[in-house]
Structure 1
Amino acid sequence: MLGGLRATIQRLFTPPARLLLRLGVSPDAVTITGTVVVCVLALTLLPTGNVLLGGVLIGLFALADSMDGVMARLSGRSGPWGAFLDSTLDRVSDGAVFAGITLWFVLHPDLPYATWGLAAALACLVLGSVVPYARARAESVGATAAVGIAERTDRLVVALVAVGFTQVGLPVVVAEVALTLLAVASLVTVVQRMATVRRQLAGAARDAGPPSADHRTDPNPEA
C-alpha cells in the first residue's frame, strides 16, 4: 500500500542524508539511533495513554527509516552488513511498538473490550515477528517467500493510526478490530509463505531426483 511512496521518500531524504554524511555521521549510527528512539517512544508514551503523540512521533521516525539506506547508497557503503543491521533492528522496533500497545491495554483495563485488544495486540506482536522470519528462513534453504498481503510499514501505520486516534474520540473498538485484522493478515502471510516455500522445495526435489534419505536438519537450531 505504501510501497509506492518509497521513491518519493528517498528523494525527500537525499538532502539531509548528504548533510549528515558531511558531518561524519554513519548510516549505522542513524539506524541504531532511530531504533533506540522508537523503542523509547513506544515503551513510554503508548503504555501511559499518550497514544496520539506516540503514534505521530513513531510514525515520523518510521518514515525516516529510509534515511540510513539513502546515506549508504550516497556513500557507497551499501552491503550485507547494513542490510542485516537494518532488518534486525526493524524487528526490535516493531516488537517495541506492539509491546507498547499491549501494555496500553494491560495498564488500562477499563478500556472497552480490553481483553480482546490485549489478545489482538499480542497476536500482532508474535505473528509480526514470524512473518519476516519465515522469509529469512526460506532464503536460508534456497527458496524465496516474497509474498504477503501487508508490508511492514502498512502494519505499523494501521496500528498506530487506529490506536492513536482513540485519544481524540475514535471508538476503542475500531482499534481492536484493526489490530485483529492485522493479526489475521500476518497469519495469512505466514501461511502463504509456508505454502510457497513448500512448493518451491518440492519442485526442486523433483528436478534433483529422489534423495537417498530424508535428513531434516536445521542450519540454525537456536534461531
Structure 2
Amino acid sequence: MAYDRTAMLNILRPAVTRVMTPLGRALARWGISPDVITAIGTLGVVASALVFYPLGHLFAGTLVITFFVLADLLDGVLARMTGKGSTWGAFLDSTLDRLSDASIFSGLILYFVLKDDPEIVLAIVALFCLVAGALVSYAKARAEGLGMTANVGIAERGERLVVVLVAAGLSGLGVPYVLAAGLWLLAAASAVTVVQRMVHVYRQAVVR
C-alpha cells in the first residue's frame, strides 16, 4: 500500500485523499482489499505505458498513466479506512512501484526505437533513467536494511514521475524538444541522487 510516498506525492496526498475518500468508503463496503487496488493501479500503468507510448500516443498515454498513478494513492486511503495496512502491503506496493516505473521508461524506449527515424541516443538516455531510478530506490532500501538512512537526493520517485510524464505529455501535444530535455535533465538528476545517497550512507557507515 501507499504508506511511504515520496515528497512530491506527499504534497498531492491531502487533495487526492479528499477526492478518493468517498470511493474508498464504497470499496470498503464492497470488501475490496487495498492489495487489489495496488495491483490494479500497477496493471493500468504497465498496460498504458507499453501500449500507448510505443504507438506514439504520448499525450493520451500520459493522461491514462497519470490517472492510474494518482489512483494508486487510493490503496493507502482504503487501508486506513479498513485497518488492513500490513507489512506485506507495504512490500507489495514498493515492489510494484518499480514495475510501474520500468514500464514507463520501457514504453518510451520502444517509442524511440520503433519510430520511422529511430532516435537511438534518446533511447539510451531513457534506459539510463530507468537504471538510475532503480539504483536510487535500491540505495535507500539497502541502507535501511543495514540500519541506516538514505532519504536524500534531488530526484526521488515523485519528482522523476512528474518530470517524465510532463515531458512526454507536452511532447505528445507537439512541444518540440521537451521530451529530450526532460530525459536529459532526469538522467543527470538521477545520477546526482545516486551519488548523494552513496555519500550519505558512506558518512554513516565509515565517517564517525
* Structure 1 length-normalised TM: 0.86
The whole-number CA distance in structure 2 between the counterparts of 1:15 and 1:151 is 29
Describe the superposition over 1:114-140 as per-residue Cα deviations: whole angstroms up to 9, x where unpaired. 223112111111111111110000011
Runs of 4+ in 1 over 4 A off after TM superposition: none
Question: Within 5 A, what are the aligned runs for 1:28-47?
Answer: 28-47=35-54
The percentage of aligned residue pairs carrying the same residue is: 51
The whole-number CA distance in structure 2 between the counterparts of 1:125 and 1:148 is 16
Structure 1 residues not aligned, in runs of 5+: 207-223
CA contact (8 A) 1:159 1:178 kept: yes
The whole-number CA distance in structure 1 between the counterparts of 2:202 and 2:65 is 36
Q: Which residue of 2 aligns with 1:133?
A: 138
Q: Which residue of 1 aligns with 2:4?
A: none
CA contact (8 A) 1:116 1:176 kept: no
Letter in 2 for 1:79: S
Secondary structure, counterpart of 1:147 in structure 2: coil
Q: Which residue of 1 aligns with 2:197?
A: 193
Question: Within 5 A, what are the aligned runs for 1:34-183?
Answer: 34-110=41-117, 114-171=119-176, 173-183=177-187
Describe the superposition over 1:64-90 as per-residue Cα deviations: whole angstroms up to 9, x where unpaired. 111001111111111211110000000
Describe the superposition over 1:39-65 as per-residue Cα deviations: whole angstroms up to 9, x where unpaired. 111101100101110001001111111
Given the alignment of the two structures, is residue 22 of structure 1 paired with residue 25 of structure 2, yes or no?
no
Structure 2 residues not aligned, in runs of 5+: 1-6
Q: Report the Cα offset of residue 150 of structure 1.
A: 2.1
CA contact (8 A) 2:170 2:178 kept: no
The whole-number CA distance in structure 1 between the counterparts of 2:164 and 2:197 is 23
The whole-number CA distance in structure 2 between the counterparts of 1:175 and 1:109 is 17
CA contact (8 A) 1:59 1:157 kept: no
Q: How many residues align?
A: 201
Secondary structure, counterpart of 1:24 in structure 2: coil
CA contact (8 A) 1:52 1:164 kept: yes
